[in-house]
Structure 1
Amino acid sequence: MRLTTLTLAATLLSAATAFAQSAPTLAQAPEFTAVNQASALGSSLKGLNVKNAGDETVGEIEDLVVVGNNLASYILSVGGFLGMGTHYVAVSPGSIAITWNESDKKWHARINATKDQLKAAPQFKYEGRFAK
């Protein structure tokens, strides 16, 4: 009985230690921010068509990648039809210009690339921890 209790205590202690090592460091108190009208919400960008300089739709914003507290990439879906043959690529936020058009009350996204260039880019796969 004593051995079982000691084993259980050691297991709980090691689990707590492992959790403490992987837990993120948080500020003492939450810091609240103002969201101004120049900001875009992620939900507004998901599904947004991405066009090139020739006004051709070359992809669609499928997802956002956040690393730490920073936007690291946009995941674009390129090609495909009804979910078949879709190619996903991760694109740096600096590669896409996202603007709000006051006259049509819509978000617009532009990239300096063709659909073929995006299809030839390294593929991002929704697998492992990113599986949908």
Structure 2
Amino acid sequence: MYVITTEASFDAAHFLKDYPGKCHNIHGHRWKVQVSLQAETLGAEGMVIDFGIIKKDLKALCETFDHTLIIEEGSLKPQTVAALQEEDFALSFVPFRPTAEHLSRYFFEALQKYPVLSVDVYETPGNKAHYEL
């Protein structure tokens, strides 16, 4: 089995509503996303896939979150969202709790046109979530 891995990163804030710890407050991370692709055989060009192709799509996905506040849909009062929008803050709404675990699955599913083996999402250099089937 051949496996290649590429990565991209983004800076974003999030919070975990009703979490019984510090993470219920808005805080930021330098998120790093590593995607591993697999193939049993190589294409005619001798590659699983050209790194530039997967890197472009991964970077585009990361850019949708870059310098935003990632918010779980329904986790803020409508007037809070309106106030943030009135201040012209960049907001990214997601239908899941914005943890590294859920983000790893999000990136895995978003890149399914490729032979994705796994996705790792790092919240910090020493803490990551891993998703694979």
What's the TM-score once normalised by structure 1's chain length? 0.24
The structure whose residues are more often strand, as a share, is: 2
Structure of larger gyration radius:
1
